[in-house]
Amino acid sequence: MDSIRVVGGNPISGQVTVHGAKNAVLKHMVAMLLAPGRYRLDNVPGILDVDIMGEVLDHVGATCVRRGSVIEVDVPEELNPEAPLDLVRRMRASILILGALLARMGTARVALPGGDDFGSRPIGMHLEGLEQMGAEFELRHGVLEGSAPNGLSGTEIFLEFPSVGATENLLLAAVLAKGRTVIGNAAREPELADLAALLNAMGAEVEGAGTSTIEITGVPTLHPTDHTVVADRLVAGTYALAAAATGGTLEVRGCNPDFLRMELRKMEAAGCGVVRGDTWFSVVGPERPIAQDIATLPYPGFHTDMHPQMVAFLARAKGTSILTENVYAARFRYIGELNRMGADVHADGQHVVIRGVTDLSGCEVDGCDIRAAAALTIAGLSAEGETIIGDAEHIDRGYDGFVDILRSLGADIDR
């Protein structure tokens, strides 16, 4: 197992340009299965999840070639419409091939993903929406077998919760369905709007992506295209919080600050100086933050994937903060690790109570998951002494060049 070693005390300062968004590119790769031909994606991060999605595409019959930040994908006429358990277990986003393959091939087999560290994570909304469009599902030996004997037809679907994955699965199915689909209470994430932009460039007719009502008029066929992936706002926010926690001054380039509206607002209230440009923003960290109350919510609310990093920042706040986790049932494993570093944090139901301490002290901690590992790195950067973050592979799932970038911004850090 790999680990990251950090010696705290250096401010994170300078300039960083963020790469393309993990949670956009993974969906773009699936969207390409909707039409045969050759595609090119730019601004693709060099992260593990892209490699795993490349394996999913390989399994389905497409070929993926990466050159630096570009991937080229060749999609054949005939596909093998299935995602096996080992790939789905390694990456839940594999479930998105359901909608695309049902639309393109009328059949799809995907191993049912189990729960994970964030809770049980059901996919009922994905399946109910696809059933409303004419799909039928059977669970046999742990594998979901989907078919659309009469093809998929547009309909009105109102989601119980603005699930990102359910909205995307339905969107991918609807672009080739017969007639008009309306998705109400849709997720509004910028990555979803970027997926719709790619689909429209492929010849789809999608309106309203980025708002809570998406209208799709099905078309008979789509065609390949080139696309540049939107910036990763979670990477941008993570580096911003690293600067904030260390009293640094950082300019974050390549990301629209509107994508982090609530996160930057909370950082300002905590005492950070924030300046916003069109595709950049800068952050100046306070000596010690002021405690904040925060609730995670679907976009444009405070992002759940910024929750552990924000708690790491608030661990040294003056006063007591309360962060309420509304998106996941269980995202609290990192708390015990943070407390080993001297933080005073506990979870009470969905509420995380953070009593600010003056100092953290470095020690060995377990990376737990991608955002937890990022949060523990932020804690290590602001702690006294050396922190070793184990299971550092989690970082590779979503952050390209994490350790090198932090070192270039002044951190005493290595892998």
Which residues of this protein are in contact with ligand EPU, per CB under 6 A? 22-23, 26, 93, 121-126, 161, 163-166, 304-305, 327-328, 370-371, 398
Q: Which is nearer to ligand EPU, 83 or 383 (CB)?
A: 83
Decide whether 104 or 371 has the Cβ nearer to ligand EPU: 371
H or E element, residue 366? strand 364-366
Say how far apart CA 367 and CA 6 lie, in whole Å: 13
For the CB of residue 106, give the shortest distance to ligand EPU in the complex, in Å. Answer: 22
Least separation in angstroms between residue 351's CB and ligand EPU is 16
Q: What are phi and psi of 71, to 5 degrees?
A: -120, 145
The nearer residue to ligand EPU, 26 or 197, going by C-beta atoms, is 26
Closest listed residue to residue 138, CA positions, set 176, 107, 101, 97: 107
- β-pairing verdict for 156-158 and 205-207: unpaired
Residue 338 beta carbon to ligand EPU: minimum distance, rounded to whole angstroms = 18
Q: What are phi and psi of 205, to 5 degrees?
A: -120, 90
Q: How far apart are CA 270 and CA 279, in angstroms?
A: 23
Which two tokens mark 172? 């991918």
Which of 191/356 has CB closer to ligand EPU? Answer: 191
Q: How far is the CB of 233 from ligand EPU (least distance, A)?
A: 11
Minimum CB separation from ligand EPU for residue 328, in Å? 5
Residues designated as active site: 116
Alpha helices (H) along 221-364: 233-245, 261-269, 307-314, 333-340
Q: Is 257 helix (H, G, I), strand (E, B) or coil?
A: helix
Which CB atom, from 43 or from 163, has the smaller least distance to ligand EPU? 163
Query: Coil, strand or helix: which one is 301?
Result: coil
Whose structure tokens read 């601004």? Answer: 43
Distance (Å, rounded) from C-alpha 121 to C-alpha 39? 32
Q: How many CB atoms lie within 10 A of CB 75?
A: 21
Of 398, 348, 408, residue with least CA distance to 372? 398
Which is nearer to ligand EPU, 266 or 371 (by Cβ)?
371
Q: Which residue is nearest to ligand EPU (CB)?
A: 165
Query: Are the beta carbons of 257 and 231 closer than 8 angstroms?
Result: no
Cα 263 vs. chain centroid, distance in angstroms? Answer: 15
Q: Kind and range of the H or E element at 141? A: none
Query: In this structure, are residues 135 and 102 in contact, taking their beta carbons and an 8 Å threshold?
Result: yes
Contact between 343 and 350 under an 8 Å Cβ cutoff? The reply is: no
DSSP run (H or E) holding 248:
none
CB of 122 to ligand EPU, least distance (A): 4
CB of 123 to ligand EPU, least distance (A): 5
User: In terms of CB distance, is 312 or 370 closer to ligand EPU?
Assistant: 370
Task: Name residues whose C-beta falls within 8 Å of residue 377's C-beta, 6 or more positions apart in sequence.
Answer: 4, 6, 242, 387, 389, 395, 402, 406, 413
Least distance from C-beta 305 to ligand EPU, angstroms? Answer: 5
CB 52 within 8 Å of CB 26: no
Q: How far apart are CA 394 and CA 348, in angstroms?
A: 26
Closest by Cα among 190, 57, 94, 85 to 66? 57
Tell me whether residue 157 or residue 383 sits nearer to ligand EPU (CB atom). 157
